[in-house]
Chain A
Amino acid sequence: MLTLAGRLRRGLEKTRKKMSAVIDVAVGRGLFDDAAAEQIEEALIEADIGPEIALRLVEDVREWVRSAGGGVTAETVREKIEMDIAEILRGSGSGRSEEIPPNGNHSSEQPRVTILVGVNGSGKTTTAAKLAAQAAARGSRVLLGAADTFRAAAIDQLRVWAERIGCEFVAQDQGADPAAVAFDAVQAGKSRGCDEVFIDTAGRLHTQTNLMAELEKVIRVLGKIKPPDHCFLTLDATTGRNGLQQITTFSRSLPVDGLIVTKLDGSARAGVVVEAVERLKIPVRYVGVGETVEDLMPFDPEAFARELVRTE
């Protein structure tokens, strides 16, 4: 039986090889011609980078090859594309979360409050739990707040996590006002001397105005006790081009200051974040690459770009 890490590696390898093989074949003859350009463009599109940026990346390579006066190898093309993608991702300050200053709302006042938002099924509850578990492992006093009062059993799901982690837990009944739960959670966090409070919210499609307004209210109400230091948007790695709309709409209504790409252990590459980061200047903070707590890792633009285009 394969270990989880083994399975994960195998899954990733398959995709990486695919993209890499495309580049090898395309540039194999030492030429960067239209056929090579098209094949690489398609490989980028298949990673959900989107036709516009894919074309731009390929045209940049073409220009670069021309100015270098030929002598192109698959390896140099790979490196060039990888560098370009990493640069886009770095542009917004994406990087290890420790290095990023929290958003403007941050105050040194305890506890640090992080709220998780996103569409249905994007992994908010699991991510909130993993962030809490990591903070607890660092020795912080942690509280999980269950403001997803809509989805059946979401509260139970988070409670199970809180018990596993051994952290504080605040919830009300299903159907309760999420803003009230969030407020309670922060208040409890304060009075119990917690360092970190993580608030899970119900998934909602960004097109549901009423539900977006509900989240705006949660943020507003939290402002009365302590504005959230972080508002992270979770994005399922398999999401295609709609990811752009999601990130755009959520960040228009809420002070989103970071993206968390979840379920990156599948074969999907989440290329859509490249365009999202470029357009909306919201950094990626973490990626989820598996089911264990440690599998939620700080985002590394270079590694992400490498995963997109090359083999080991």
Chain B
Amino acid sequence: MFETLTERLNKTFRNLAGFGKLNEENIQPALREIRVALLEADVHFRVVKSFLENVKKRALGSEVLESVTPADQFVKVVRDELARTLGAEEPPPELRKNPAGPTRILLCGLQGAGKTTAAAKLAHLLGKSALVALDLKRPGAVEQLRVMAEKVQATFLPPADPSDVRLSARKALEEGRAFEHLIFDTAGRLQIDEELMEELVEVAGIVKPDEIVLVLDAMTGQEALNVAETFHKRVPLTALMLTKTDGDARGGAALSIRHVTGIPIKWIGTGERPDAIESFHPERFADRILGMGDVVSLVERAERLTDTKKVESLTKRMLRDGLDLELFLEQMREMRKMGPLTELLSLLPGGGNLAPMAAGSEEELKRFESMILSMTPRERRHPDIIDHSRKRRIARGSGVRTEEVSRMLKQFRKVRGMLGAFTGGKKGNGILRQFFS
């Protein structure tokens, strides 16, 4: 249903192949594909227009290299241009520090963008921070920040007067003098809400922030540009933080905002936990917008989420005792920690083609798990004892049909067989065993 850009471009490239050289005419279909892809990635339509103009100029002006096909060359131009627009040619943006006293960071944005969570994440990342609660509108917001502050071991500064944002801001400045970073969480507001925008301007006037960060949901559509421009007009934004990038939104809004306003994207939020914050990488994000796969992120995620010690001990156990269903289950669980298979596959170049196939196996993994959980420990360790009546019992326990239990066992034996060849069997001298010994 959702054709990835990789798939679409592959088609265009097939058509492009054989032209020999890029010209005004033969790049039109590819440009159209890129246009749709960028629009589907939520890049603003005006930005798409001017971006494509740049791509066209660069593509036509580029030297034709003997070694690459026109298609490859075209992709490279698009990716480079995307990365360049996102700031790849500039040094990575750093926190604007205040040499004399605490560095003051003011967060603002629409309701539900993730400001409170972002505030806690920044405190965690920067350390030696105090979190200032200036969202006095949403019920529970102050309490949320207090709890989050505790989690990241930051100091929490409650509002001096819960009905007066300006006074609370002033008091917090006095109280927070000794900290290295003062992070101000504000109420979510619509950029067209004149009254609340005026309040933000006044708060910024009081706090005199070193950083004014627009917190923006990565899923935001065409409106993102308008939002950023309006906020920027009222309070001079110094940074963008893109939240909820652990979903599958392409995040084209970041490109629009960067392209039009030049505001650097400094951080991205990558999950619900307070440590799920990363600095922004233009190249990786360019690939994300294009849906071209992001191998580095995948590796990083794998490293972060899989318990390496556990994987190691699992592997050792497997080499020593051979694969049984207990291990099989644990390995599946480790794998699933990294996220849905479909999502993992989409991070791989060309993996978009595989993702629809994996959607089925995701379900299957879940069923496997429930079947294994319906077995006795002895059955898990010695799957070969599972006869028909045991199968029937397992099927009843896990809510599947008996044939499915048989199929699962068959698949397990296949995996065990493959591993056997690879590890050289229980006592053999397989490749893996040599590798781990």
Interface of A toward B, CB cutoff 8 Å: 1-2, 7, 10-11, 14, 42, 45-48, 50-52, 119-123, 150-154, 156-158, 160-161, 205-210, 213, 236, 238-246, 248, 263, 265-269, 271-272, 279
Contacts and interface: CB of A to CB of B under 8 A. Distances in A.
Interface in B210-254: 217-224, 226-227, 244, 246-250, 252-253
A47 B144 CA distance: 33
Contacts of A154: 140, 144
Interface string B191-222: 11111000000000000000000000111111
Interface stretch (B33-41, B99-107, B173-181): B33-41
Contacts of A2: 194-195
A137 B192 CA distance: 30
B33 to A, nearest CB: 11
Interface string B125-167: 0000000000000111101101110010000000000000000
Nearest to A6: B194
B112 interface: yes
B45 A242 contact: no
B247 A152 contact: no
A156 B138 CA distance: 11
A242 B223 contact: no
Interface of B: 1-2, 35-36, 39-42, 44-45, 110-114, 138-141, 143-144, 146-148, 151, 190-195, 217-224, 226-227, 244, 246-250, 252-253, 272, 336, 339-340, 343, 362, 366
A215 B249 CA distance: 21
Contacts of A271: 221
Given A1-B195, A48-B222, A245-B248, A263 B138 contact: no
Nearest to A14: B192
B140 A156 contact: yes
Nearest to A123: B112
A240 B250 CA distance: 10
Given A50-B40, A151-B144, A242 B247 contact: yes
A245 B2 contact: yes
B191 A266 contact: yes
A240 B224 CA distance: 9
B287 to A, nearest CB: 17
Contacts of A45: 39, 45, 222
B36 A51 contact: yes
B253 to A, nearest CB: 7
B40 A206 contact: no
A150 B273 CA distance: 11
24 contacts: A2-B194, A7-B194, A48-B223, A120-B114, A120-B272, A122-B112, A150-B272, A152-B151, A153-B146, A153-B147, A154-B144, A156-B139, A205-B246, A207-B340, A209-B340, A209-B362, A236-B219, A238-B110, A240-B252, A241-B42, A244-B2, A266-B110, A266-B223, A268-B221
